[in-house]
Amino acid sequence: MATKQEITDTIRQGNQRVTQTFGGLTEEQLNTRVHFDEIGWTAKQLLAHLAGRASGHARMIGMAESGDGFPPDFDLNAYNQEIVDARADKSRDALIAEFLTVHDALIERVNGMSDEQLGKTMQWPTGEIPLSDVLRGSGGQHSTKHAAEAEKVLGLPDRNGLASPFAALHHVALVTNDMKKTVAFYRDVLGSEVAMGHRLDRPGNERHYFITVAPNTVFAFFEFPDAALPAHKEATLPSTGRALDHIAFFAGSNERFDTWYQRLTETQAAHLSPIRDMGIVRAFFFDDPNGITLEVMAGIGEGMHFPSLGDPDPAY
């Protein structure tokens, strides 16, 4: 039987995977068929299916309460298709926003349920199964499975088909002189989690923490209490004394982009810039407690796609 923590962690992982995968697709990719069961869906239709999960979650919770199984005449394919068809006119951003709202609501509902409620069993095609396991599967693993399905068909993670030397970016190693302040910012303002926290086995015994920032990517902070951190410098402008200008994150949708800007405004993030319209993307910048400049961005129209080579005096 899955615990509340396991259920909510799995749902959040699914949220991140769906946002990352579907948020960066081109119109051509969104209209590509990626689902090949009895119902053949494009990537956008698959996203619509995931966005419309609220009634399914409510149905399964009700089935566990009553002890009933699916009605004998229940047509799952027709039910799913009806949900997809009802969202045919919604944009990708609207579907992602609905998906996140539905699954955030499921997390809230799970956290409000008792262990007795979560332990109730329901009739499933494979036999009796506790509601906790059903919600973990339906609310989280289901999302991850469909995102992986789309990624495989579309040749992701590199949606542009460009060659890269490594499989993924694992971590960026950074320096802080106050780990508690750093953890508080990333955890309480941005919603990160501490993935690893320990002390280095050497005379300084310094803290070394990995903090999540995107699916499968962390910031690895070393705490050096006496370190003098650099003063703030405006992002993207010529400067000396630093090799790292800023680190950028993709918001996943324009709705999420606006939500992030509102949240960082309300929490008075340091050096929060106005929103910049760069033609193909919208973006804004802010600093973490260590003076590290971070960027949040979202595509405009087709957004940013690679390759895009136009230097009149190229170094490539």
Mean pLDDT of 64-75: 81
CA nearest neighbour of 299 among 313, 277, 280, 315 = 280
User: Which tokens sit at 229?
Assistant: 């951190």
In whole numbers, what is the pLDDT of the chain averaged over residues?
A: 89
Phi, psi of 122 (to 5 degrees): -135, 155
* pLDDT one-digit tens code per residue, 172-218: 999 999 999 999 999 999 999 999 999 999 999 999 999 999 877 89
Residue 157 to residue 211: CA distance in whole angstroms:
22
* pLDDT one-digit tens code per residue, 244-300: 999 999 887 788 899 999 999 999 999 999 999 988 889 999 999 999 999 999 888
Contact, 299 vs 255, CB < 8 A? no
For the domain spanning 244-305, the CATH number is 3.10.180.10
pLDDT at 92: 94
Mean pLDDT of 120-144: 88
Q: In CATH, which superfamily holds the domain spanning 4-154?
A: dinb family like domain (1.20.120.450)
pLDDT at 70: 76
* Residue environment code for 8-43, b if the CB has 16+ CB neighbours within 10 A, otherwise e: bbbbbbbbbbbbbbbbbbbeebbeeebbeeeeebbb
Residue 47 to residue 30: CA distance in whole angstroms:
9
Residue boundaries of the structural domains of the chain? 4-154, 166-225, 244-305
pLDDT at 159: 59
Tokens 């780990």, residue located: 179
Q: Could you name the CATH architecture of 166-225?
A: Roll (3.10)
Q: Could you count the other beta carbons within 10 Å of the beta carbon of residue 131?
A: 24
Phi, psi of 38 (to 5 degrees): -55, -35
pLDDT tops 90 at residue 47: yes
Q: Do domains 166-225 and 244-305 have the same CATH topology?
A: yes
Give the DSSP letter string of 96-148: HHHHHHHHHHHHHHHHTS-HHHHH-EEEETTEEEEHHHHHHIIIIIHHHHHHH
199 DSSP β-pair partners: 207
pLDDT at 27: 87
